[in-house]
Chains A and B, each alone.
Chain A
Amino acid sequence: MKGVEVVIISGRTSQQGAGLEVGKTSEEYFKSASYVELSERDAKALGVKDGQPVEVTTPHGSVVVTGRVSEGLDSGVVFFPYGPWANQVFGATTAGTGMPAFKGIRATVKPADGKGVKTLAELVDSLRRWG
């Protein structure tokens, strides 16, 4: 499937804040940072139901996370909580400011049936094996 073109907005959530205080290795943190919110229209176009895995891809990388359907989003916009899952698809270019683009990144989202969401340990391992 081709997938839908979206713009990623990443940001903080209170669950993620509370989760990281339990510990980054906790189940709470995993659940709070390894999903994206999709608009109802985009989820329908992809045939993705709330809780099913989706693959988010940019020129910088791709990552499989849980898809969640949100009423507050326009079609073409996805929300991704800050964290190591989101950071798989963001680039390190800062345009001379020190700040990478964490919001407004163009990406493709498609269903990821049968693919699992990587654990934190697996993501850390991929950083070790980078390049």
Chain B
Amino acid sequence: MVVHTDVVCPFCGCLCDDLEITVEGGVVANTKNACAVSRSKFMNHGKNRLESATVDGEPVNHKKAVDAAAEILARATRPLVYGLSSTECGAIGRAVELAELVGGVVDNTSSVCHGPTILALQQVGEPKTTLGEVKNRADVVVFWGSNPTEAHLRHLLRYSGMPKGLYIPEGRKGRYIVAIDVRETRMARFADKFIKVDPGSDFELLLVLRAAVRGSKIEAEGVAGVTAKEIEELAGRMKGAKMGIIFFGLGLTQSEGRHMNIDAAIGLVTELNHHTKFLITPMRGHYNVGGANTVITWQTGYPYAVDFSRGYPRYNPGEYTAVDLLARGEADAALVVASDPAATFPAEAAMRLAKVPTITLDQKVTPTTMLSKVVIPVATAGVEVEGTAYRMDGVPLMLRKVVEPHGEVPSDAEVLDMIIERVRALKEEA
């Protein structure tokens, strides 16, 4: 029996780094400190695994699958490389290299989660901090359109709600926690104050809250379903913080207004910084979506939606983003790494993955593997493969290998290296 300590969890953007994983006979036998989802990932990582590489549903060895994948990508005129947020940074780097080699488009899952956040940050900047600073200093914590009690299960426990910090010695009692959402969630019941906003009205509430922080009198009885009194009280609380932070989620990015909601939220934070220290951090979902943005940025200059068709990188969300490219019927092949767009994209876009030759690298059977022409089983980063991942606040952490890969399958990076080598050979032959 081996007990691995300080293991980093490869599920959500919290990257909790205090897990204890017990391995017996080469299998994960127990977890400690893991949340329900993390425990499910470690305990079930061997279940429902792809048993073999396949081409057109027929089992083949890895080499044949790699050859088939390389031929599809080398022949395609507009291949899409997509996913990347649930694997380690080394694999992401290889995916960018492959996209450049085949003159394709590379996009990651942030286009359907915090892509609008990135658009806003590029316009107005990012007043950010680390989660350690939040734990030690933040006495007003606002969760806006985000629900850590369902999506980031230990966020409140480790950083933003319960822990005793250097300047927050009372822990939970030393923090004023606000939840702003369209529905009353578990998070709403945990918070000191829950504000229910009308669906699609966050932008209005953000603007009027900014006006209240500035000292303007609200003449309307209420805005976006919230009374003027509640808005003024919240503005007062925020201005009175020693250090405050807004953790926002897809409630802002996926609603009417999208990036303009984030622009307004950063505007509110800017206003608050005339009075006190206030910061903002997106609640990133996939554990390494931050790494996908970071690696693609350092390699191409842009964080997602990058097109190599002219031989150099161009960036245009809305045009080179995966949903648009598929819905327009533009992609003529797809390589999916560590993602399941057939389940996560609107069916109007997902159906395209069945019309073009799709290659998928994954551990388990998913709707995307079911639609794919070529399926290549790979090892699980952070469980069977080590590597680097970026936490939601931009801190890179080392993922660990705690067990051998199921069926001795290669990693995402190894498979991508094999495809790159084969595509190069095909291009030289041509």
Contact = CB atoms under 8 A, between A and B. Distances in A.
B222 interface: no
B318 A96 contact: yes
B318 A127 contact: no
B346 A103 contact: no
B244 to A, nearest CB: 25
A18 B36 contact: yes
Contact of A12 (B253, B285, B342, B370): B285
A10 B345 CA distance: 12
A124 B371 contact: yes
Interface centre among B183, B185, B350 (most CB of A within 10 A): B183
Contacts of A45: none
Interface string B176-198: 00000011110010000000100
A91 B39 CA distance: 34
Given A12-B151, A127-B353, A99 B40 contact: no
A13 B285 CA distance: 12
A84 B346 contact: no
Contacts of B111: 98-99
A26 B116 CA distance: 32
A39 to B, nearest CB: 9
Interface in A48-107: 60-61, 70-74, 77, 79, 82-84, 87-88, 90-104
B11 A7 contact: no
B392 to A, nearest CB: 14
A9 B323 CA distance: 19
A17 interface: yes
Contact of A97 (B116, B153, B184, B351): B116
Contacts of A88: 347
Contact of A87 (B47, B251, B324, B345): B345
Interface stretch (B96-104, B121-129, B359-367, B421-429): B359-367
A75 B203 CA distance: 22
Given A23-B364, A94-B318, A102-B254, A72 B184 contact: yes
Contact of B346 (A21, A60, A72): A60
A99 B350 contact: no
A57 B11 CA distance: 32
B349 interface: yes
Contact of A124 (B12, B258, B364, B370): B370
B42 to A, nearest CB: 9
Contacts of A10: 254
Nearest to A25: B365
B199 A17 contact: no
A23 B348 contact: no
A131 B116 CA distance: 30
Contacts of B88: none
Given A77-B182, A97-B115, A90 B346 contact: yes
Contacts of B200: 7, 103-104
B208 to A, nearest CB: 19
B256 interface: yes
Contacts of A94: 318, 321, 323-324
B211 interface: no
Contacts of B36: 14, 17-18
A7 B198 CA distance: 11
Nearest to B39: A18
Given A99-B254, A128-B371, 10 more contacts: A14-B149, A14-B151, A21-B44, A22-B44, A26-B48, A74-B196, A90-B348, A96-B317, A96-B318, A98-B318
27 contacts: A10-B254, A12-B147, A13-B150, A17-B40, A23-B44, A25-B48, A60-B346, A71-B184, A72-B183, A77-B183, A84-B347, A87-B350, A90-B348, A91-B348, A92-B326, A96-B317, A97-B116, A98-B318, A98-B323, A99-B258, A99-B323, A102-B112, A103-B182, A104-B255, A127-B351, A127-B353, A127-B371
Closest 9 pairs (CB-CB, A-B): A98-B321, A23-B48, A72-B184, A130-B351, A96-B318, A92-B327, A18-B40, A17-B37, A92-B348
Interface of B: 11-12, 35-37, 39-41, 44-45, 47-48, 107, 111-112, 115-116, 119, 147, 149-151, 153, 182-185, 188, 196, 199-200, 250-251, 253-256, 258-259, 285, 304-305, 317-318, 321-324, 326-327, 340, 342-351, 353-355, 364-367, 370-371
Interface of A: 7, 9-14, 17-19, 21-26, 60-61, 70-74, 77, 79, 82-84, 87-88, 90-104, 120-121, 123-124, 126-128, 130-131
